[in-house]
Structure 1
Amino acid sequence: MDGFPHPDARLVVAGEPGELTGDLLAARVERTAQVLAGLPPGPVFCGMRNDLASVVRYLAAWRTRRPVALLDPDLSAGALTGLIRRFRPAALFGFAHAVESAPRGRRDADDPHPDLAVLLATSGSTGSPKLVRLSRRAVLSNATAIATALAIEPGDVAPTSLPLYYSFGLSVLNSHLAAGATVVLTDAGLLERSFWTHLDAHGCTSLAAVPYQYEMLRRLGFDAKEHPTLTTLTQAGGRLRPELVTEFSGRADRFFVMYGQTEATARVAVLPPDRLAAKPGSAGVAVPGGRLSVADGEIVYEGPNVMMGYAETAADLARGDDLGGVLRTGDLGHLDDEGFLYLTGRMKRIAKIFGVRVSLDDVEGLLRDCGPVAVTSGDDRVTVWAEGLDRDACARLARRLSTELRLHWSGFDVRAVDRLPLLTTGKVDYGALEART
């Protein structure tokens, strides 16, 4: 099994006594592996919940070298059916909606490439038309790199605070299993009392969260002192406001800022806690084994964790490595003289207002002091979605943007929302906002 999971790795079901480790875990995985081995060639689709059955299926697929697509278990029947028709899985497990049976056999497509291990959707909420093809080498190398960069040790315990079909959430699982550490499986969210009850009961030492979750924790008055075993906080999934980086880094022994992409399995860069003060706003340095560079303003990452490429149909699963370990990220940024990465926006997050090009990420950056905001564009205007503002505050915000960007105020449509819509990964659902315009 390529040393994965580590023989000392442990799985714990939140709220239940005991744990699965060593021979017990291996036997459970082997039983499921025998089921998978009896299926026709092709990938399996797993509705990946934060539960034991899902994780065992994932490890069984790894054990049998069968590609597994880790998908949102609550995908709509229509989205799931579309994926089935295009990728022809050998079997489906764990989905909420009943759909037509997956085609048996693959007479019209070659078998998947032997290096292919994991398939992740580029959009967790919709079952994106593209799946990211990750090799065994990519998964293992990134799990090891993360464990090294975060100094994960066998005594560490992490809860599943993010969906396991999301690359950040999966990376928490993989890195801890690779290091011989413990993962506590829970479907409870950070806003549920039961999550914190289980975190304390199982002695969790770290917590992974995306920016919106940190915004919520701040509103709730999160105090790490109430959770004595919790020593490490990690953040990825978007840029966290600098003041929140400062605030939460003061609430834990270690606070890691990270940057990554699904196309790089998970992590691309990590900012060590001891460099937070000296490198404010940085996303850190490349993970062990990786290299960062900039080409025409675009961040380029090279490393063994880069995907094999995208897949849009079953035929694509038979392809080998299309990228050769080089990923053009689509993110804009620069490196300082020590190789620390600073992100400035997305190449495609550009709008035109009255003929002037405006970065939507820059607009969001200007408004970070206003609380949670999201920015979309359309019809020669930029729409700002802001939580909890009244009509007068919206008007003031439009005038402020007009002044700072030196564009007429009518180019900014500021709208108040009670809550920004979120993907299940915790990121802002820009598609849902654009549908409202």
Structure 2
Amino acid sequence: MTEQPRTIPSALIRAAEEFGERAAIADGDTRLTFAQLHQRVRDFAGALINRGVKAGDRVVIWSPNTYHWVIALLGAQYAGAAIIPINTRYTGTEALDIIERVDAAALVVVGTFLKADRYQQLLDANPDLSIPTVIQVPIDGDDDRDGVIEFEDFLALATDAARTEADARAAKVQPDDVSDILFTSGTTGRSKGAITAHRQSIAVAKSWGECAEVTTDDNFLIISPFFHTFGYKAGILVCLLNGATIVPVSVFNIDDTLALVNSEKISILPGAPTIYQTILDHPRRSEYDLSSLRIAITGAAPVPVALVERMQAELFDAVLTAYGLTEAVVATMCRTDDDPVTVSTSSGRATADFEVKIGDQGEILLRGPNVMLGYLDDPESTAKAIDADGWLHTGDVGTLDERGYLDITDRLKDMYVSGGFNVYPAEIEGMLARLPGVHESAAIGIPDHRMGEVGRVYIAQLDGAGLTEESVIAFLKEKIAGFKVPREVRFVDHLPRNPSGKVLKTVLREEQS
């Protein structure tokens, strides 16, 4: 093996050299070896260069999990740019906010997907939107529109001279250069862009791969969205570093998943606990050959010991849990020899050179070389998140046992997890403040068998406002992503508060009926 790469372009070049004819991507009828992936990436980078994209520019990707995403990711970084993924569930308004804040030099956007036209949503949010280069990923067919270049047509823009320039740029990318800016919602109500360097993205992916013992024999079914660190860094980059095959899933369906495990001989299957429970309980499970399954990686919700035991007995050689956040990616992780009780009751021990300690109020603190560089254009929030001694304040509450294994027991802040997505009540409450008739509101997460948690919002409305649950939900559906829209709306005369005026969400959470 050659020296471990410290940038994503160098990781791709190494993969093409060492794993050349092995399968890099298996996406339906599209099959690419690592050598072929490298050439496609050179094409994408060269086309960006011919369109005027410079080293240090920012390329936004708003598209679901397909091979196009992988090429765009690696191609932008090969040209020296940083990538900014956008949540595919975001509305046009939410996506536009990010695109404008990063001053995008190029946008890779899906065409019609799940009956929604993402680019049109952007134009609806801002008819005067102007992005120098817009590249369309065809999913449900081609959508012809002025000023938008189809993905394959875009690759054709590369010239030999531009590919040569791309190779030169790739060689110049430094470990401390910015690889990506991932936006994470904040308790202030506006998303914050966590900035990460190439060396950090590579280091966490390398550590994850070591914990999961990933090899060239693995076929990795990536259900986690590529716009999320779990799909991008603990997925795409892990495969790139270890020569495993990326098998992307753009829309999750349990029957399709079982069919893919069967046909693609999937060995690594990450996901929420509900996915595994659904597989175990599937009435036609025996019709599929699932013997290739080796490793399950889960998190974001508690995993019952009985489920871990069944998973290991009936599906997997090992089940791992992990803990991370956008600002640190993966900070703790179980190991393949951990027992079911450890896997169920902890999120593993430190990985990727992280230090973990418990601070005031039981808050989990992280420190190490792979903590984000900071938040984009937000030194105040950066200073609040990372203290003078370099400790990242996660906002999560937990305990460490004598072995250094972390157990997450609560959330210091109000964030809850719905279907694997973080939801921040401040965003919902901030949007409701714009709805005429709302005097005050408070959102909380409540247990849900399928989603883990869903939202419930309490609203005190002005006299005569005439708001209804239907009208509130309809308003929010137009303004925020679907996973953030509360399931329930309850109207109250006033919200419970402490003597200092702070809303007592603990009182609201006690009401679960």
User: Normalised by the size of structure 1, how large is the TM-score?
Assistant: 0.73
Question: Equivalent residue for 1:330?
Answer: 395
The answer to whether the Cα contact below 8 Å between 2:192 and 2:375 also exists between their aligned partners in 1 is yes
2:347 corresponds to 1:293: no
Question: Equivalent residue for 1:240?
Answer: 303
- Number of matched residues? 365
Between 92-101 and 3-12, the greater mean CA deviation after superposition: 3-12
Q: Alignment partner of 1:226: what SS?
A: coil
Matched AA of 1:200: N
| Whole-angstrom CA distance in 2 between matches of 1:350 and 1:60 | 34
RMSD between superposed Cα atoms in Å: 3.7
1:250 to 303, 307, 313: 313
Question: Equivalent residue for 2:34?
Answer: 21
| Whole-angstrom CA distance in 2 between matches of 1:15 and 1:210 | 24
Measure how far apart 1:341 and its partner are: 0.7
Measure how far apart 1:253 and its partner are: 1.0
| Whole-angstrom CA distance in 2 between matches of 1:210 and 1:180 | 25
Question: Equivalent residue for 1:392?
Answer: none
2:369 corresponds to 1:304: yes
Measure how far apart 1:101 and its partner are: 3.5
Structure 1 pair 288/117, CA: closer, same or farther in 2 (3 Å)? Answer: closer
Structure 1 pair 14/44, CA: closer, same or farther in 2 (3 Å)? Answer: closer
2:267 corresponds to 1:205: yes
Q: Give the 5 Å matches for 1:167-186.
A: 167-170=229-232, 171-186=234-249
The answer to whether the Cα contact below 8 Å between 1:168 and 1:236 also exists between their aligned partners in 2 is no
Q: Alignment partner of 2:297: what SS?
A: strand
| Whole-angstrom CA distance in 2 between matches of 1:174 and 1:325 | 26
Question: Equivalent residue for 2:228?
Answer: 166
The answer to whether the Cα contact below 8 Å between 1:271 and 1:283 also exists between their aligned partners in 2 is yes
Measure how far apart 1:185 and its partner are: 2.6
Matched AA of 1:345: D
| Whole-angstrom CA distance in 2 between matches of 1:210 and 1:428 | 19
Q: Alignment partner of 2:327: what SS?
A: helix
2:110 corresponds to 1:81: no
The answer to whether the Cα contact below 8 Å between 2:358 and 2:400 also exists between their aligned partners in 1 is yes
Question: Equivalent residue for 1:433?
Answer: 487
**Unaligned ranges ≥5, structure 1:** 106-112, 352-359, 382-426
Q: Give the 5 Å matches for 1:103-118.
A: 115-118=177-180
CA deviation map 1:218-264 (0-9, x unaligned): 44358587312112211123333343233323221111111111111
| Whole-angstrom CA distance in 1 between matches of 2:296 and 2:185 | 25
Question: Equivalent residue for 1:276?
Answer: 339
User: Normalised by the size of structure 2, how large is the TM-score?
Assistant: 0.63
Q: Give the 5 Å matches for 1:365-404.
A: 374=453
| Whole-angstrom CA distance in 2 between matches of 1:253 and 1:428 | 36
Matched AA of 2:63: M
2:97 corresponds to 1:97: no
Structure 1 pair 153/92, CA: closer, same or farther in 2 (3 Å)? Answer: same
The answer to whether the Cα contact below 8 Å between 2:107 and 2:131 also exists between their aligned partners in 1 is no
Q: Alignment partner of 1:178: what SS?
A: helix
Structure 1 pair 78/232, CA: closer, same or farther in 2 (3 Å)? Answer: same
Give every structure 1 segment of 4 or more consecutive aligned residues whose post-TM-superposition deviation is greater than 3 Å.
100-105, 214-219, 221-226, 321-326, 370-373, 375-381, 427-431, 433-437
| Whole-angstrom CA distance in 2 between matches of 1:74 and 1:350 | 18
Question: Equivalent residue for 2:114?
Answer: none
Measure how far apart 1:118 and its partner are: 0.9
The answer to whether the Cα contact below 8 Å between 1:13 and 1:51 also exists between their aligned partners in 2 is no
The answer to whether the Cα contact below 8 Å between 2:365 and 2:391 also exists between their aligned partners in 1 is yes
Structure 1 pair 330/291, CA: closer, same or farther in 2 (3 Å)? Answer: same
CA deviation map 1:53-102 (0-9, x unaligned): 11101001221221110113453222222223322111111243233444
The answer to whether the Cα contact below 8 Å between 1:11 and 1:185 also exists between their aligned partners in 2 is no
Question: Equivalent residue for 2:143?
Answer: none
Measure how far apart 1:375 and its partner are: 6.5
1:2 to 10, 13, 27: 10
Q: Alignment partner of 2:220: what SS?
A: strand
**Unaligned ranges ≥5, structure 2:** 1-8, 111-117, 134-174, 417-443, 461-480, 492-513
| Whole-angstrom CA distance in 1 between matches of 2:485 and 2:365 | 26
